[in-house]
Amino acid sequence: QDKTSMASRQSRGKKLVDPVFSILAKAKEAAAEYGEEKVVNATIGSIQDDDGHLATLDKVTELVRSFAPERIMSYAPIKGIAGFEEAALNFTFGSSRPEGHLAAIATPGGTGAIRQVIYNYADDNSNVLIPDWHWGPYKVIAKEFGRKIDMYSIFTEDFKFNLVEFKKKVTANLKQQDNLVIIFNTPAHNPTGFTISTAEWEGILTILREAAEDKSKNIITLLDIAYIDYAGEFEEVRKFFTLFGGLPENILVTVASSMSKSFLAYGMRCGALIGLSSSKEVVDEFVDVSAYSSRANWSNVNHLPQELLVELYNNESMLADVYSEREGFRKLVEQRGQLFLTEARESGLEICPYYAGFFIAIPCDNPEAVVERLQQEKIFAVPLNKGIRLAVCSIPTAQMPGLAAKIKESLTD
Ligand code: PLP
């Protein structure tokens, strides 16, 4: 036993290493030394406008300022305020609400929702299945609760969803454990911008239905849709949800819905965890275990953003204003992404399949060395296991031209 540690056995040695923040600090130092316009800071995972300022939605800010103190300072109920569940279901599904029993409870962002599912549905020491290209905190959350991570290669050689590898991992894990939580981050996946197509979803659901024929097994899908509102038009990007109706009772569908990106309100820390099942008992249990976990972890969720969501989804014209303002920022990010894609094609730079969203990923060997070489060019990107990540959400449009070519050069040095 390490005598210098006072921490409990399960907490000993845990230390958060966040590559984004350390590289961000370097980018800021370089900007101070050489001037902001000389430095490409591709680390920040929030939309910055073309002047380098954090983008926010005026209508959201207006609404935030309009609430009387007694409406936002009081405790909210544990599962969410009156009207929150309906507002969260409308926000998440639009008119593509899947058939089945549904419930939604408030969470502190998508992160809170993801935490609840990993804790309540993956057994101690069992595997949670995620893709090889993934958002790092899934691993942090799993480790926090003594769960393990298994990964499948998400892409085929021609950059389609790899159904063969996915099936292998689902089958292998269900041989050794009865509950399997599987996380999907789509549309506009972090870190690649990949979106699972309808045909690919049909393939995935066929595999899961087959696996669920063994009734001793439980499959829990977690749809992490943090970037959905940057993937395309509101109703269009939500159509895939209807595929999740009518699944067998031993497949529980959960959705981690987040207000962070959709309302450019990252720091308000609000989202919803949604459960969908063809069994009412399964959804009732989902609400019971989730609410218990909420009480044990954060008690209740921030009151203000809940009021905001309820207000917006009860006021069509206000909501329309928010959507149209957000559309401007979606188009801005799309324009930056398209500029990069065009130049990547021209310079022969291979990138992961980018459909939309905040990030573009470039596969490469030795990402740490590539990131360091790029820093010599005053370009600051984040290294991942299998490549590097560029946050197109935060790079001013004027800095996009020439970027793909410089990255291509840095790979061959
Ligand atoms: N999922 C992914 C893939 C993300 O990138 C993020 C935020 O960066 C989240 C979930 C959760 O965000 P939040 O907890 O702010 O809703």
**Model confidence over 186-230: pLDDT tens digits?**
999 999 999 999 999 999 999 999 999 999 999 999 999 999 999
Q: Which helix (H) or strand (E) holds 150?
A: strand 148-152
The residue whose CA has the least distance to atom 6 of ligand 1 is: 226
Q: Is 410 in the pocket of ligand 1 (CB under 6 A)?
A: no
Quote the ligand 1 centre to 264 CA distance (angstroms): 12
Quote the ligand 1 centre to 161 CA distance (angstroms): 22
At residue 176, φ and ψ (nearest 5 deg) are -105, -5
Indicate which atom in ligand 1 lies nearest the CA of residue 259: 16
pTM of the model: 0.97
Give me the mean pLDDT over the 111-131 stretch.
98
Return the pLDDT at 1: 56
Q: Is 241 in the pocket of ligand 1 (CB under 6 A)?
A: no
Return the pLDDT at 394: 96
CA distance 30 to 28: 5
Q: Is 185 in the pocket of ligand 1 (CB under 6 A)?
A: yes
Give the torsion through C-alpha atoms of 18, 258, 277, 86, to 10 deg: 160
CA distance 172 to 211: 11
Confidence of residue 17 (pLDDT cuts 50, 70, 90): confident
**Model confidence over 245-284: pLDDT tens digits?**
999 999 999 999 999 999 999 999 999 999 999 999 999 9
Measure the CA angle with vertex 386, ends 383 and 390; round to 5°. Answer: 45
Amino acid identity of 270?
C
Q: Is 111 in the pocket of ligand 1 (CB under 6 A)?
A: yes
Q: How large is the angle between the packed helices 316-347 and 303-312, nearest 10 degrees?
A: 100
**Which mutation among 260, 268, 274 tests ligand 1's pocket best, with the greatest number of atoms within 8 A of CB?**
260
Query: ipTM above 0.90?
Result: yes
Given a contact cutoff of 8 angstroms between Cβ atoms, the answer to whether 170 and 180 are in contact is yes
Indicate which atom in ligand 1 lies nearest the CA of residue 189: 3
Q: Is 266 in the pocket of ligand 1 (CB under 6 A)?
A: yes
Measure the CA angle with vertex 26, ends 22 and 31; round to 5°. Answer: 145
The SS3 assignment for 102 reads: strand
Return the pLDDT at 71: 93
Return the pLDDT at 406: 96
CA distance 66 to 13: 45
Q: Please give the domain boundaries of the chain with CATH numbers for all domains.
A: 19-57+319-412 (3.90.1150.10), 74-315 (3.40.640.10)
The residue whose CA has the least distance to atom 1 of ligand 1 is: 226
Give me the mean pLDDT over the 111-125 stretch.
98
The string of DSSP letters for 31-48 reads HHHH-GGG-EE----S-B
Of 110, 90, 98, 38, nearest to 266 (Cα)? 110
- Residue 172: partners with Cβ closer than 8 Å, 6 or more residues away: none
CA distance 378 to 147: 39
The residue whose CA has the least distance to atom 12 of ligand 1 is: 110
Amino acid identity of 235?
E
**Which mutation among 92, 223, 258 tests ligand 1's pocket best, with the greatest number of atoms within 8 A of CB?**
258
The residue whose CA has the least distance to atom 7 of ligand 1 is: 226
Quote the ligand 1 centre to 259 CA distance (angstroms): 10
Indicate which atom in ligand 1 lies nearest the CA of residue 271: 16
Quote the ligand 1 centre to 130 CA distance (angstroms): 15
Q: Is 302 in the pocket of ligand 1 (CB under 6 A)?
A: no
Quote the ligand 1 centre to 215 CA distance (angstroms): 33
Confidence of residue 18 (pLDDT cuts 50, 70, 90): confident
Quote the ligand 1 centre to 393 CA distance (angstroms): 14
Return the pLDDT at 3: 74
